[in-house]
């Protein structure tokens, strides 16, 4: 999910740049705001790898340095609604502004309130973690899956089930190869390899390196597989040979709105600041695509 983080953080940065651009006299002036970015993984502990980033926005005229933007020494807590238990998050000793607590196991179907206090400012956000996905597949989650480039979806479909037929499912394919080592499965013209970083990922971890789709659980019904909720079309999302990561995730409303609304920075569920506080459940698969 570091890859989703990179994309969302890039979108947030672009939004902030546009809002403060001096070339646009109609744009609002720079405002120092608390920025939150993070999401909770159902059935996983809130380790440093899943830490929640707390920072300040920076003027577009200044060089962006994450360490300078980070909010250090904030009071950050997570409260589980059902039990009322409050968990104190600690700041990373190696990454300023990143808060976590490895002892906290995130529970599916549970609602969590994030509270950030820094100086006189208080920022809050609420997320309800989706119910756990029941996934059936021959693909392995704990080791690479070496696959050839022919008809992947029908040979190894992924069957998914969730108690909520309207649950939004995100399927993401991300190529892990460097741009100058990524070979097209179906070349455009005569070029077997991308000619630049921009051609590879639109300059910011975008298409065709990263391709994702959002779909309701009930829309995954497949007649070819006894009307099971089936992800069998993911092969069409694979553009490059080599290492690719496939993610199958149930996401909450905050993540959905952040990824689809026109102004993502104010659509991620944050009150008193901007950014994203969401949650998800799901699985990831490493695919090694060979000829």
Q: Do 219 and 188 belong together in one domain? A: yes
Q: Do 213 and 123 belong together in one domain? A: no
Q: Do 151 and 169 belong together in one domain? A: yes
Q: Do 30 and 124 belong together in one domain? A: yes
Instruction: Give the pair of three-digit tokens for residue 181.
Output: 């080592």
Q: Report helix, strand or coil for 220.
A: helix
Q: Give the residue numbers spanning the domain of 155.
A: 134-250+284-290
Question: Is 80 exceeded by the pLDDT of residue 26?
Answer: no
Tally the domains of the chain.
2
| Confidence band of 154 (pLDDT split at 50, 70, 90) | confident
Q: Do 77 and 37 belong together in one domain? A: yes
Q: Do 44 and 140 belong together in one domain? A: no
Cα–Cα distance for residue pair 83/163, rounded to 1 Å = 22
Q: Do 23 and 96 belong together in one domain? A: yes
Instruction: Give the pair of three-digit tokens for residue 103.
Output: 């002892």
Q: Report helix, strand or coil for 64.
A: coil
Dump pLDDT digits (tens) for 95-138. Answer: 999 999 999 999 999 999 999 999 899 999 999 999 999 999 99
Q: Do 214 and 271 belong together in one domain? A: no
Q: Do 8 and 42 belong together in one domain? A: yes
Q: Do 19 and 158 belong together in one domain? A: no
Q: Do 120 and 19 belong together in one domain? A: yes
% of the chain surpassing 70 pLDDT? 89
For the chain, give the mean pLDDT: 88
Q: Do 118 and 262 belong together in one domain? A: yes
């Amino acid at each position: 999910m570091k890859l989703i983080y990179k994309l969302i953080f890039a979108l947030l940065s672009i939004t902030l740049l546009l809002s403060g651009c001096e070339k646009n006299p109609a744009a609002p002036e720079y405002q120092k705001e608390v920025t939150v970015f993070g999401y909770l993984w159902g059935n996983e502990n809130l380790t440093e790898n899943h830490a929640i980033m707390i920072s300040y926005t920076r003027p577009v005229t200044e060089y962006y340095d994450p360490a300078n933007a980070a909010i250090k020494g904030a009071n950050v807590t997570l409260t589980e609604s059902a039990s009322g238990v409050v968990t104190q998050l600690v700041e990373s000793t190696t990454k300023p502004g990143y808060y976590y607590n490895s002892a906290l196991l995130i529970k599916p179907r549970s609602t969590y309130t994030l509270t950030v206090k820094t100086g006189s400012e208080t920022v809050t956000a609420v997320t309800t973690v989706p119910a756990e996905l029941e996934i059936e597949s021959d693909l392995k989650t704990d080791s690479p899956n070496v696959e050839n480039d022919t008809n992947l979806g029908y040979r190894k479909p992924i069957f998914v089930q969730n108690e909520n037929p309207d649950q939004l499912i995100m399927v993401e394919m991300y190529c892990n190869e460097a741009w100058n080592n990524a070979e097209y499965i179906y070349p455009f013209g005569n070029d077997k390899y991308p000619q630049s970083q921009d051609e590879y990922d639109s300059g910011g971890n975008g298409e065709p390196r990263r391709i994702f789709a959002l779909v309701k659980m009930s829309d995954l019904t497949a007649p070819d597989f006894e009307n099971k909720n089936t992800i069998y079309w993911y092969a069409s999302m694979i553009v490059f040979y080599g290492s690719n990561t496939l993610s199958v995730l149930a996401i909450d409303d905050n993540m959905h709105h952040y990824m689809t609304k026109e102004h993502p920075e104010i659509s991620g569920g944050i009150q008193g600041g901007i950014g994203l506080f969401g949650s998800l459940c799901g699985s990831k698969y490493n695919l090694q695509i060979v000829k």
